[in-house]
């Protein structure tokens, strides 16, 4: 029934029918978008339907139902939260910190059961969010509360209704009745990308920053005004119910499948393990995956899978015997900000680096952390001597999150950005709206060293044996000062250096020789031109074909290439018109460096000449660098962002938000195995 047809049907029944249809369709599409990650309706059409719903409900407020999508926008502010008693306590979990603790956990189960029967387990990522309970009466969301002290929580029903991944009405098959009362438990959290954006917005508004995603989720859920909660990017994963005995499920694995069928979002990383050794392997793997996830986890929850066994094992005063939280090493800690150093990057960018009182985070001693740029420094309001919160995830460079202002003594000192380059003494500049302060001197020693490291590295010419330490040694010995010097290095000179020897010198000379005929795209990426990375270098190579044509191009020529804007075009023209660059390229040619012309149909007959690939998630059988190189060998292109020109989205482990966008655009999504077959591996 369309909106227009209502004009031809008299009475409230027509409105009621239309509202029911709109609510059904909007809830269906919201479930596909937020929970299944498989939308089939354009955003504009969803918005049109939603506006029609709101308009009809405003005209007929007596017909508003509690499961209407309009009820997610938040109600009136509350003076305070009421308390809610949990019918079954929300117990906390005991902790384990590695494989030995998990083995001990199983031994305790055996002793209690007085049997060494094989036990299977369900493992689930332990999200660093806020545990909540959702009560459904006859399929409708009726009450939501925080965990509180485990016995009594706070009534945050209106706030929880604003979260799109929490169903307002349970989904059931035709003819199937919803449970009379169902008490569902899960975790509310904020994804890392959304958390970063939220904190950036708070910083611009002069509001205090959240320390971490959990802090952000908790603060958002405890707003007295649900309309504020509705603006926060909250998400939800279900993990259980208060009493599974009333449901048609024999174990945790079946329960999660059942809850998924009711419309709840179940974490895709839940895993059924046959024994404790599989649990330990899963814990190790999840720890390795941690830094690549789109949300923060601080461990893995392990549960005895079988409900009958859970019933026999029972609970202690504060925790169930049948579950345990295997915790990862902490990713945050507090320490003291002792000093700030200012480093110079290969493009002249001045980066403030925090010098910290050494502290252990995630099993690693941290004494330095990035502060990004001057704006970030000011936004966080840091001072020398501050106690600061520092975080580290996986192999990511540690960063200072915020100062702990409550600990200030009054002896802290302001941090002053330098006005001259700490390496060469040149006055620093900050152009236009850029957040970066730069040294404009192309002959700055620090820029030259970092530029050489980039040129020889994997993102550049990939000259094996000339890594960061080797380049720094060669510069300090006065053997190289610029790129052409690399091609004048001699075997005898290198072999005589400390720590080298004949074999390593021979390998480096051979690698340098092999790099004398680079493909145009690789050479352009290696030069370190500002704003030009691997993808842009490939675009330029395909468009111009040769270094000679590229170096003579003007801004208009560059702007004709999709993906290149005014800033990048100006940077390219400035670079190739620089007399120093022209001299450098001339010297390289005189030394026998011959940059090869690039053609779209290179390698294997250009099998991927019309293909554009985008990667999301981690690859397990080859590195991202190897995958990109193979695509380019076959004449294909690699995109850095999602757009309609992408022909293949390669799905790795733990894909990010690019997958959702790809599905919205109807792009072809392939697995890693399909990709490997495509490139002949």
227 belongs to the catalytic site: no
What's the distance, CA 247 to chain centroid? 36
Length of the chain: 681
Catalytic one among 126, 303, 380, 658? 126
Strand partners for 335: 388
How far apart CA 334 and CA 56 sit, in angstroms, is: 53
Residue 89: which H helix or E strand, with range? none
What residues contact 505, with CB distance under 8 A and at least 6 apart?
491, 494, 495, 497
Residue 153: which H helix or E strand, with range? strand 152-154
How far apart CA 318 and CA 457 sit, in angstroms, is: 54
Pairing of strands 612-616, 648-651: parallel
Query: Angle at CA 340, nearest 5°, toward 338 and 341?
Result: 130
How far apart CA 467 and CA 470 sit, in angstroms, is: 5
CA distances from 246 to 180, 183, 243, 263, 315 (A): 10, 11, 7, 19, 19
Surface-to-core class of residue 238, CB atoms within 10 Å of its CB (0-12 exposed, 13-18 middle, 19+ buried): buried
For residue 481, the tally of other CB atoms under 10 A from its CB is 14
For residue 490, the tally of other CB atoms under 10 A from its CB is 11
Surface-to-core class of residue 28, CB atoms within 10 Å of its CB (0-12 exposed, 13-18 middle, 19+ buried): middle
Q: What are 391's two structure tokens?
A: 């975080």
Q: Report the SS3 class of residue 206.
A: coil
How far apart CA 279 and CA 587 sit, in angstroms, is: 60
How far apart CA 37 and CA 664 sit, in angstroms, is: 9
Q: Which residues are catalytic?
A: 126
């Amino acid at each position: 029934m369309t909106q227009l047809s209502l004009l031809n049907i008299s009475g409230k029944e027509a409105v009621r029918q239309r509202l029911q249809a709109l609510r059904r369709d909007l809830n269906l599409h919201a479930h596909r978008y937020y929970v299944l990650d498989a939308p089939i309706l354009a955003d504009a059409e969803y918005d049109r339907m939603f506006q029609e719903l709101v308009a009809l409900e405003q005209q007929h407020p007596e017909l508003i139902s509690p499961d209407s999508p309009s009820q997610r926008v938040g109600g009136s502010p509350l003076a305070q939260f009421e308390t809610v008693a949990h019918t079954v306590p929300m117990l906390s979990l005991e902790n384990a910190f590695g494989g030995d603790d998990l083995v001990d956990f199983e031994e305790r189960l055996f002793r209690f059961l007085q049997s060494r029967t094989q036990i299977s387990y369900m493992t689930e990522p332990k999200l660093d969010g806020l545990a909540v309970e959702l009560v459904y009466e006859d399929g409708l969301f009726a009450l939501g509360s925080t965990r509180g002290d485990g016995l009594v929580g706070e009534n945050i029903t209106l706030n929880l209704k604003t979260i799109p991944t929490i169903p307002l009405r349970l989904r059931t098959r035709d003819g199937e009745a919803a449970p009379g009362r169902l008490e569902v438990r899960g975790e509310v959290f904020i994804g890392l990308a959304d958390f970063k954006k939220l904190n950036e917005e708070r910083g611009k508004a002069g509001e205090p920053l959240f320390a971490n995603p959990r802090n952000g989720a908790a603060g958002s859920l405890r707003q007295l005004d649900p309309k504020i909660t509705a603006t926060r990017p909250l998400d939800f994963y279900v993990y259980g119910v208060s009493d599974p005995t009333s449901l048609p499920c024999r174990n945790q694995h079946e329960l999660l499948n059942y809850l998924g069928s009711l419309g709840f979002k179940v974490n895709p990383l839940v895993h059924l393990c046959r024994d404790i050794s599989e649990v330990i392997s899963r814990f190790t793997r999840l720890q390795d995956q941690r830094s690549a996830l789109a949300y923060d986890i601080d461990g893995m929850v392990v549960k005895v899978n079988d409900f009958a066994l859970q019933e026999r094992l029972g609970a202690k005063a504060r925790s169930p015997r049948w579950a345990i939280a295997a915790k990862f090493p902490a990713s945050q800690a507090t320490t003291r900000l002792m000093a700030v150093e200012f480093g110079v990057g290969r493009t002249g960018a001045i980066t403030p680096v925090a010098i910290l009182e050494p502290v252990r985070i995630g099993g690693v001693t941290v004494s330095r952390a990035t502060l990004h740029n001057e704006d970030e420094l000011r936004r966080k309001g840091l001072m020398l001597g501050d106690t600061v919160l520092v975080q580290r995830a996986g192999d990511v460079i540690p960063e200072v999150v915020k100062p702990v202002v409550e600990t200030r003594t009054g002896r802290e000192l302001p941090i002053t950005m330098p006005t001259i380059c700490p390496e060469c003494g040149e006055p620093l500049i900050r152009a236009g709206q850029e957040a970066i302060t730069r040294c404009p001197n192309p002959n700055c020693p620090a820029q030259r060293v970092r530029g050489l490291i980039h040129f020889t590295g994997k993102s550049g010419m990939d000259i094996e044996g000339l890594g960061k330490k080797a380049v720094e040694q060669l510069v300090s010995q006065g053997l190289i000062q610029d790129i052409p010097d690399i091609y004048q290095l001699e075997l005898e000179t290198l072999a005589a250096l400390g720590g080298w020897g004949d074999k390593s010198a021979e390998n480096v000379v051979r690698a340098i020789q092999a790099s004398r005929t680079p493909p145009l795209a690789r050479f352009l990426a290696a030069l370190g031109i500002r704003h030009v990375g691997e993808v842009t270098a490939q675009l330029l190579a395909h468009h111009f074909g040769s270094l000679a044509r590229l170096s003579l191009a003007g801004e208009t020529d560059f702007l004709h290439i999709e993906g290149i804007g005014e800033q990048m075009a100006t940077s390219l023209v400035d670079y190739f018109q620089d007399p120093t660059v022209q001299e450098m390229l001339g010297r390289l040619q005189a030394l026998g460096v011959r940059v090869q012309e690039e053609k779209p149909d290179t390698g294997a007959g250009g099998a991927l000449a019309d293909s554009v690939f985008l990667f999301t998630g981690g690859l397990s059988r080859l590195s991202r660098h190897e995958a990109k190189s193979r695509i380019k060998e076959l004449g294909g292109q690699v995109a850095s962002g999602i757009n309609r020109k992408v022909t293949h989205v390669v799905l790795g482990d733990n894909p990010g938000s690019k997958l959702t966008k790809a599905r919205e655009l109807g792009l072809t999504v392939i697995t890693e195995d399909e990709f490997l077959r495509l490139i002949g591996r």
